Structures are given as structure tokens and as C-alpha cells.
Structure 1
């Protein structure tokens, strides 16, 4: 009786298990049938978004590169010409255009790839509100920690765009002075009067005195023997300066006639 009862009780349970398995399989198959079209559509949309982003980014980067190359070719063609009495510095324009191109490429890549990533997440039906909130908090934290780097970068961008100085200019940056040998987005390299190289962070520069931009005044002291006729010496100096102003390359560098100011100091043997 016991064995019979056990078998009788086990029989329906065994049947229920076998009956539940096909039903679960049918539900899974039905679920796949109901959703595969949506999955396929989402996958195709993601592929299309990625392809459009890659193609658009490539085209824009190539366009920026061609514009920079055209600017550099224009600088090389004008390297030996004059503009308003100033010699055109090809290296200065090359570095300026390269820095501008780097900024444009970085901004272009960030905007396109960021937009594509957000669009893909939207296609996957992921709630973007928590992600954007987290990104905002992370951005504030990173910006606070790297504020000096951001300040240097932004200052460098404005210095380059405004053409405050370039390669070959003699500048006084406050913290250091010398001849500019390289202009970067974060650091400017100067060579001092004693040959030292100064690495100046762009964010530290509060004022800039450019001795090479536009025009400048140079003072030259000429020693004359104490017994010489000063009026004759002044006439000789003026004649020599006038002849120098007609020679190359000084005819483009001297904008006004040289002025002889007169006696500045008196010594035992020279004046």
C-alpha cells in the first residue's frame, strides 16, 4: 500500500514538471518572436549612428587639416614678402595655425562622439537623467581638481587666437622675459638673454609686453672723442644712419628717419 500510494502521488507531480517545461519554452520562444524585430531595429539604428558619426568626424577632421595646410602654404609663400613694413614670420603662423587646428579637432571629436554616445544610449532605452547628473558632478570635481590645467589651456587658446605674440617675438611676460621659441596651448617657451629657457604656464601670464609687435624704439649710444667737433660728429652720424636706412633689410625695418638726440654724457676721453 505504501509503495502504491507513493507512486500514485509521484505520478501527477512528474507529469506537471514535464508539462511546465514545454510551456516555459513556448513562452521564451514567443517572447523572442515578439521582440526580435525591435532588437533588429535597435541594432541597425546603432550601426547607422556609429557609421554616420565616424564618417562625419573623418570628413570634418580632413577639412580642418586641409585648411591648416592651406594656411601654412600661404605662410611659406609670404615668408619673403613684407606686410606693412613687417617681415612675415612663417614659423609663427605655422605654430599658430597648428594650435588652432588642434583645438578645432578636439572640439569636433568631442561633440560628435559625445552626441553619438548619448544617441546610442537613448536607442537602448537607457535613462540618461542619472548619467547626465553623475557626469555633471564628475565634471565639477574634475574641473575643480584640474582648474589650473583648464586655465592654462583656455589662456593659451585666447593668446593664440588674438595673436598676442608668436615665435621670434621678444616679450615680457611678467614672470619671465625673452624671445619666444615655441607657443603651446598650455606652456610658452622663452629663451632668456643668458641663453636659459623659460617654461611659462599660460595661465600665469597676467600681462604681456611685446617688443616685436608693431613698432619699437631702439637707442644706440655712439662714443665720440672728447676733442672732436660735436656738430660735425652729429652730421656724420646722421648721414651714416640715412645711408643705412636705404640698404636691405633696414629699408623695411626702419620706419622713420634716425634721430640724433645730442650729447648724453661726458667722460674723460669720450662723450
Structure 2
């Protein structure tokens, strides 16, 4: 047995050492490639989060994407490394690649929907179309985003129902929680009060009204009708979309209380 081992080593020593060196070189190259790829992803994420002055929510999304990219990079390098090591050891990769191709083709037919969901979910996350807690309308379905993942998105509608959407089916998104919305309120004052006095009273009321959600001072327009019995004015202001109703309620209450105190006949 010992003599057989010695003869085997003498015959195969060069090939074994060569294969070992090839495998070691492949592993070293994979480690270096993984380090370089991870470093590049880290530098890009750091540059985005520092220079673009992103919000904490957006920074968290970018970190999530970087983690996903790192995982994809690791799996790709692992697959390439296994094939390279098998090739270095003299394994015929033809049947393996053919089997993998057939298997991949079969899986791709069965998982087309899942792949589309994941790809669309990735772009939703990258493009920052919406996030958890925002009020949106997705393809005619209105609600608040409760959860969002790479494959599905869940909304809670106005009736409390939880609606699950596949990301691949999302084609049109209206985000009601971003930017500025226009608060609009119509105020009617009886004609006997006088047009000049009515305008002056409303201008003063708009000037003195304040709310933390107002992005700018209130604007007064009107009269907007030719009704001889009353003067109808329109008040406009810019507020965050989720605060339109709340600020409108506060403004109506303010005008009612002030009108009662000043004796202004609202109509």
C-alpha cells in the first residue's frame, strides 16, 4: 500500500501541485474581486449619503440596496468560482453547463412572475416611488403603504382592508404624501356687509391666521361669483398633502369664531 502511494505521488505530484496552485489562485482572485466589489459599493453608498444630503429614510433605502448588491455579487462570484475550480480540476463542464441551462430554463418558465416582481420591486426602491406610511393611489387603489418588499406591496385602504399587490402589476403610482398640496376654502359674506369691508376683514383674518403646517401665507381671491346676495371669496394656501383636511378644519373654526366676535355675517 505504501509503495502504491509512493508511485501514485511520483506520477501525479506535478498535476496535484499544479491543480492546488490553480485552485489557490482562483480562490485568491475571488477574494480580491469580492473585496474590490464590496469596496466600490461601499464608496458609492457613502458618496450618495454624504453629498446628496438625503433623509434618513432615503439613506436606509440606499443601505438596503447596497446589501442586496453585495449579496448578488457574492452569489455570482461563488458560481463563477465553483465552475472555475471544477475546470481547473479537469472536470468536463459541458454536461454541467447543459444541465444547469436546462434546469435554469425550466425554473425561469415557472418563476417568470416572481422575477418580474423582484425586478420591479428593486426599481420601486431605487427610484423612491413611495415608502411605508405614505398615502398613495396605485392603479386606482387608494390607501396607506403598510409594508413594501422586493416582491409585494401592502396597502391599507380607507375602509381598513389590507390589499396586497404584486410589484410587477404596479404601473401607475400617485403619491399624495410628497410635495405641496393646495388648501382651498370658499367663504361667503352677506352683501349688506359691503364689499370693501368684507375684503378687508378677510385679508386681516388671512394675515393673522397661522399654522405650523402652512408653507406660505394665505392668498385671498374674489369675489369669484356675481351673486348679488353675497360676496364669495376663495382662500388658498400651500400645505403638506396629509395636512389638507386638518389645516382646513382649523381655518374654518378660526373664521367662524372671528366672524362671531366681529359681527361679520357669513353666508
- Partner Cα distance (1:196, 1:70) in 2: 41
1:258 aligned onto 2:219? yes
1:90 aligned onto 2:53? no
CA contact (8 A) 1:96 1:183 kept: no
- Give the corresponding residue for 2:83: 118
CA contact (8 A) 1:189 1:198 kept: yes
- Partner Cα distance (1:158, 1:132) in 2: 30
Equivalent residue runs for 1:1-271 within 5 Å? 29-61=6-38, 63-65=40-42, 67-68=44-45, 71-72=48-49, 78=53, 89-91=55-57, 93-167=58-132, 169-174=134-139, 176-194=141-159, 197-216=162-181, 218-222=182-186, 224=188, 229=193, 231=195, 232-233=197-198, 235-242=200-207, 250=214, 253-254=215-216, 258=219, 260=221, 262=224, 271=267
CA contact (8 A) 1:165 1:213 kept: no
Q: What 5-or-longer segments of structure 2 have no aligned partner?
A: 230-264
TM-score calculated relative to the size of structure 2: 0.66
- Give the corresponding residue for 2:246: none
- Partner Cα distance (2:132, 2:200) in 1: 38
- Which deviates more from structure 2 when the two are superposed, residues 227-236 or residues 170-179? 227-236
Q: CA deviation at 1:71?
A: 4.5
CA contact (8 A) 2:62 2:126 kept: no
Q: Which has the higher strand share?
A: 2
CA contact (8 A) 1:176 1:200 kept: no
Q: 1:229 to 1:156 in 2, by over 3 A?
A: farther
CA contact (8 A) 1:156 1:186 kept: yes
CA RMSD across the alignment: 4.0
Q: CA deviation at 1:189?
A: 3.8
How many residue pairs were aligned? 230
Q: CA deviation at 1:157?
A: 1.6
Larger-Rg structure: 1
CA contact (8 A) 2:134 2:145 kept: yes
Q: What 5-or-longer segments of structure 1 have no aligned partner?
A: 1-23, 79-87
Q: CA deviation at 1:35?
A: 1.2
CA contact (8 A) 1:153 1:202 kept: yes
CA contact (8 A) 1:181 1:191 kept: yes
Q: 1:61 to 1:195 in 2, by over 3 A?
A: farther
Q: 1:224 to 1:49 in 2, by over 3 A?
A: same
Q: CA deviation at 1:127?
A: 1.7
The superposition leaves residues 202-239 of structure 1 with CA deviations (integer Å, 9 ceiling, x where unpaired) of 112121122344444x3433455767748455554454
Q: CA deviation at 1:60?
A: 3.2
> Secondary structure of the residue that 2:219 maps to in structure 1?
coil
